Homo-oligomer: A and B are copies of this chain.
Amino acid sequence: MNKEKSPRKPTLFEVAAHAGVSEITASRALRGSNVVTPETLQKVQEAATSLGYLRNRLAGALAGGPSNQVGVILPSLSNIVFPDVLKGLEDRLEHAGFHPVLGISNYDPEQEEQLIRNLLSWRPAGLVIAPSGMTENSRTMLAGADLPVVEIMDIDTDPIDMAVGMSHRGAGLAMARHLIARGYRRFAYVGHDIARDNRATARLDGFTAGLNEAGLKMVGCVTLVEPSSVALGRRGLNMLLGSDCARPDLVYFSNDDMAVGGVFHCMAVGISLPDQLAIAGFNGLDIGQSLPTPLTTTASHRARIGETAAACVLKRLSGEETPRMTDVGFTLIAGGTS
């Protein structure tokens, strides 16, 4: 396969020759311009099909035509959160015939900078990024690149161009207030590698602020320097309860994966929820809501963030006005684990 030296792919020139028109007419026809007559359109289409012509967008974009590529930089694909965002993005982009060109930064500003440089070198139509501590260079490149740039997930900081997301600090704060109103007083926290995930940090900040408002503070805290997972949450809760801190009445987890792990730990060792211990998470994943007792959590609208970000790029490209900030909000879910 692919061994015989290919007889060079037909170009627009060949197609035009076969159809008996000029190159530019063939180009217009194939791109669906409405100035070509139906007859020429058909001739060109037939020529293209019979020759097996395949458009070369490299040349098209270089010559000043539009690109349909959108750079997308995400910190990770390890849990379902960013795939959900990507799904929303892809969905909306695909409807417009656009494609995401993907880069994963691993929460590393240096890698992120490298990715930005790399992706921009393809002259994409737009860029969507879930920032991981952008460097000065990163900001400069994006600000100077003259394309729509959407920073996603968080709206707690000022964006270079546009931002779509929610306030993670606000989510933590709302959850704290909700739980305090329900009567909980002795709070503990189980988190994952928080140094790199500043959105989790923002939630914890907000949560802590909520406790402070009521004159409370954490009675215990376990942070494990690993990526979040169900297994890690299970282990984390086990550590927390084994430590000599005051027995908490509610444990706030850095996200739902972790919280589900906490629920499983309780099931395994016979702690009854929510009487003996209450649990809250963040994200509103399917898995948490399908538990025998649905998880108390905050639903983040991940797919909607992706869709909205894509919409912002597309709108800007079509010359429409776009909001600088879009808050997709969050939804507190008062489940059965609290």
**Using an 8 Å CB-CB cutoff, how does the interface string of A211-246 with B read, 1 for contact, 0 for none?**
000000000000000000111001000000000000
The answer for the CA separation of A83 and B86 in the assembled complex, in Å, is 10
The answer for the CA separation of A104 and B94 in the assembled complex, in Å, is 8
Instruction: Return chain B residues, CB-CB under 8 Å to A57.
Output: 121-123
Number of copies: 2
The answer for the CA separation of A87 and B102 in the assembled complex, in Å, is 11
The answer for the CA separation of A290 and B258 in the assembled complex, in Å, is 11
Instruction: Return chain B residues, CB-CB under 8 Å to A87.
Output: 77-78, 104
User: Does B104 contact A118, Cβ atoms closer than 8 Å?
Assistant: no
**Using an 8 Å CB-CB cutoff, how does the interface string of A5-21 with B read, 1 for contact, 0 for none?**
01000000000000000
Question: Nearest residue in B to A105 (C-beta to C-beta)?
Answer: B94
Would you give the shortest CB distance from A120 to chain B, in whole angstroms?
6
User: Does A146 contact B102, Cβ atoms closer than 8 Å?
Assistant: no
**Using an 8 Å CB-CB cutoff, how does the interface string of A259-275 with B read, 1 for contact, 0 for none?**
01100100110000000
**Using an 8 Å CB-CB cutoff, how does the interface string of A107-126 with B read, 1 for contact, 0 for none?**
00000000001111111000
Instruction: Say whether A147 faces chain B, with CB atoms less than 8 Å apart.
Output: yes
The answer for the CA separation of A63 and B99 in the assembled complex, in Å, is 23
Instruction: Say whether A79 faces chain B, with CB atoms less than 8 Å apart.
Output: yes
Instruction: Return chain B residues, CB-CB under 8 Å to A229.
Output: 286, 290
Q: Which of B1, B104, B231 contacts A286 (CB 8 A)?
A: B231
Instruction: Return chain B residues, CB-CB under 8 Å to A260.
Output: 287, 290
Instruction: Say whether A292 faces chain B, with CB atoms less than 8 Å apart.
Output: yes
Would you give the shortest CB distance from A336 to chain B, in whole angstroms?
11
Count residues on chain A whose CB falls below 8 Å from chain B CBs.
65
User: Does A161 contact B2, Cβ atoms closer than 8 Å?
Assistant: yes
User: Does A83 contact B94, Cβ atoms closer than 8 Å?
Assistant: no
Instruction: Return chain B residues, CB-CB under 8 Å to A198.
Output: none
Question: Nearest residue in B to A81 (C-beta to C-beta)?
Answer: B83
Instruction: Say whether A35 faces chain B, with CB atoms less than 8 Å apart.
Output: no
The answer for the CA separation of A267 and B147 in the assembled complex, in Å, is 52
Instruction: Say whether A40 faces chain B, with CB atoms less than 8 Å apart.
Output: no
Would you give the shortest CB distance from A227 to chain B, in whole angstroms?
11
A272-291 residues at the B interface, CB under 8 angstroms = 286-287, 289-291
A179-234 residues at the B interface, CB under 8 angstroms = 229-231, 234
Instruction: Return chain B residues, CB-CB under 8 Å to A86.
Output: 77, 83, 102
Would you give the shortest CB distance from A301 to chain B, in whole angstroms?
16
Would you give the shortest CB distance from A286 to chain B, in whole angstroms?
5
A60-91 residues at the B interface, CB under 8 angstroms = 61-62, 68-69, 77-80, 82-84, 86-87, 90-91
Closest A-B pairs by Cβ, 5 of them: A83-B83, A230-B290, A77-B87, A268-B292, A267-B292
Q: List 30 A–B pairs whose Cβ atoms lie within 8 Å, in order of A's numbering.
A: A1-B143, A52-B144, A54-B120, A54-B121, A54-B141, A54-B145, A56-B121, A56-B123, A57-B121, A57-B122, A58-B123, A59-B62, A62-B62, A77-B83, A83-B86, A86-B102, A91-B104, A94-B103, A94-B104, A97-B118, A99-B102, A99-B118, A99-B119, A101-B101, A230-B287, A230-B290, A231-B290, A264-B290, A264-B292, A267-B292
Q: A56-B121, A100-B102 are in contact. List 6 more A-B contacts (CB 8 A).
A: A56-B62, A68-B118, A79-B80, A99-B103, A99-B119, A230-B290
